[in-house]
Amino acid sequence: MSSDLSEIEKHDDSHPELNAHTDALLPDPGMHEHHWRPTDVDPKAEKRAERQVSLFFGLSALCSVLFVVAYFAVEPGYDGDVWAGYGASNLALGSTLGFALLFLGIGVIQWARKLVVDIEHSEDRHPAASSPATREVAIAELKAALNESGMARRPFIRNAMIGSAALLGLPAIVMLKDLGQTNAQITAEQPYPGAGLEHTVWDAGVRVVRDVVGTPIRPGDLEIGDLVNAEPATIFDGSLHGAPLQIAKSKAATILLRMDPNDIDNDVTRNWSVDGIVAYSKICTHVGCPISLNERTTHHLLCPCHQSTFDLADHGKVIFGPAGRHLPQLPLGVDADGFLVALSDYPEPVGVSYWERNTHDIDTIFDDWSKNHAADAEQYGYKEGGQ
């Protein structure tokens, strides 16, 4: 045992004491031998690489121009041009824009690999904070890198890259056309009933029907506490098809709630109700979620997305949550056959806020509505003070 300990002591004494803070734990491996690139030693190879890079930038610019040509020349849509069974517009726009980005990227990579100055160097680690002297050196090195990149010495490929990158912005500018018409233009032209953000397909005399099945509703069909998802009968009469139908249905989504008429706290809500039945937009005014969580005893309607809560007994005002506006209320009446009908479109835009929207208090909204619709609404049993 004593001999083993002596051997260990001899072994320990054979190693010098190491200081981890000052001494290198491993020897410096040094730098590998530098291999010069063909473009560093052969002027012809350098010129050839410069032409290759310029070619890629030129191809990128060409593809950007072809994108613009295809955008206007190739007919999109269901009835548009077809190539090999696929929509020609998608193929043309996708391929030209993809190759424009590809060629631009290849050109930049080839420039960096073959023409930017190739220097290898190493430096010791240092504290993260830089001294003023180090910052001056960094700025000097950035300036040197600019010179070494060849931006100044090779104006042809520099200008080719700038030109191809600039032309790459053309597809983005052209595609802005796909944003379509503004809300004001659509509202003015009315290409289909209820077009634009300010209107829906609800109108005076349009029956309130159950969603999905489309059956009309009489006041006696609802008991106190019942909540029904409803749509205008226009959705089911076959007058709308395709995208206009889906847009109209989404904007016109409505909820009906029957409560004790004595529970209604607001005069406007009472004027636009029928036997305690009120109708409100189903679209939350916060971010447009569909609302349907009903607190039966309080007449509060809760949005499941962000918990905005609206009081249906008091013009749909917000009593909790992030919503910034009350729910729009649909004025209700009864037609000659005893079915619930709308007295007009919603008196204000439904859904979330948008740039041109002006928000007014409920009394101002009611006064404006009365001037334009109250007289015509009398044929559906409307009278101020409730029906």
Q: Are strands 332-334 and 227-232 parallel, antiparallel or unpaired?
A: unpaired
> What pLDDT sits at residue 175?
82
CA distance 343 to 278: 12
Instruction: Please say if the pLDDT value at position 10 is more than 70.
Output: no
CA distance 330 to 313: 13
Instruction: Please say if the pLDDT value at position 353 is more than 90.
Output: no
Confidence grade of residue 75 (pLDDT, cut at 50, 70, 90): confident
Lowest model confidence (mean pLDDT) among 63-77, 124-138, 278-292: 124-138
CA distance 107 to 84: 31
Residue type, 129: A
Instruction: Please say if the pLDDT value at position 1 is more than 50.
Output: no
Instruction: Please say if the pLDDT value at position 7 is more than 50.
Output: no
Question: For residue 1, how many other CB atoms are within 10 A of its CB?
Answer: 5
Rg, C-alpha atoms of the chain:
37
Mean pLDDT of 208-223: 94
Please report, rounded to a whole number, the percentage of residues in the chain having pLDDT higher than 70: 89
| The two structure tokens encoding residue 3 | 């001999």
Mean pLDDT of 124-150: 78
> What pLDDT sits at residue 67?
94
> What pLDDT sits at residue 328?
95
34-52 residue pLDDT tens = 788 888 888 899 899 999 9
Instruction: Please say if the pLDDT value at position 25 is more than 90.
Output: no
Lowest model confidence (mean pLDDT) among 2-16, 163-177, 363-377: 2-16
Residues in the chain, how many?
A: 387
Is-contact 192 248, C-beta < 8 A? yes
In the predicted model, what is the mean pLDDT of the chain? 85
Confidence grade of residue 126 (pLDDT, cut at 50, 70, 90): low
> What pLDDT sits at residue 8?
42
Please classify residue 129 by burial: count the beta carbons closer than 10 Å to its beta carbon, then call 0-12 exposed, 13-18 middle and 19+ buried: exposed
- Spell out the SS3 assignment of the chain: CHHHHHHHHHHHHCCCCCCCCCCCCCCCCCCCCCCCCHHHHCHHHHHHHHHHHHHHHHHHHHHHHHHHHHHHHCCCCCCCCEECCEEHHHHHHHHHHHHHHHHHHHHHHHHHHHCCCCCCCCCCCCCCCCCHHHHHHHHHHHHHHHHHCCCCCCHHHHHHHHHHHHHCHHHHHHHHHHHCCCHHHHHHHCCCCCCCCCCCCCCCCCEEEECCCCCECCHHHCCCCCEEEEEEHHHHCCCCCHHHHHHHHHHHCEEEEECCHHHCCCHHHHHCCECCEEEEECECCCCCCECCEEECCCCEEECCCCCCEEECCCCCEEEECCCCCCCCECCEEECCCCCEEECCCCCCCCCCCCCCCCCCCHHHHHHHHHHHHHHHHHHHCCCCCCC
Q: Bigger pLDDT: 141 or 124?
A: 141
Q: Residue 274 phi/psi, 5° resolution?
A: -130, 110
> What pLDDT sits at residue 128?
67
Mean pLDDT of 74-91: 82
Instruction: Please say if the pLDDT value at position 4 is more than 50.
Output: no
Is-contact 332 277, C-beta < 8 A? yes
CA distance 282 to 304: 12
> What pLDDT sits at residue 190?
83
Under the phi-then-psi rule, with left for phi > 0, alpha for psi from -120 to 50, and beta for the rest, what region is 288?
A: left
Is-contact 75 24, C-beta < 8 A? no
Mean pLDDT of 353-382: 87
291-341 residue pLDDT tens = 989 998 899 999 999 999 999 999 999 999 999 899 999 999 999 999 999
- Measure CA of the first residue to CA of the last residue in the chain; give whole Å: 110
| The two structure tokens encoding residue 345 | 């479109």
98-109 residue pLDDT tens = 999 999 999 999
Signed CA dihedral, 136, 137, 142, 145: sign only: positive
> What pLDDT sits at residue 208?
96
Is-contact 279 332, C-beta < 8 A? yes
Lowest model confidence (mean pLDDT) among 82-86, 321-325, 361-365: 82-86
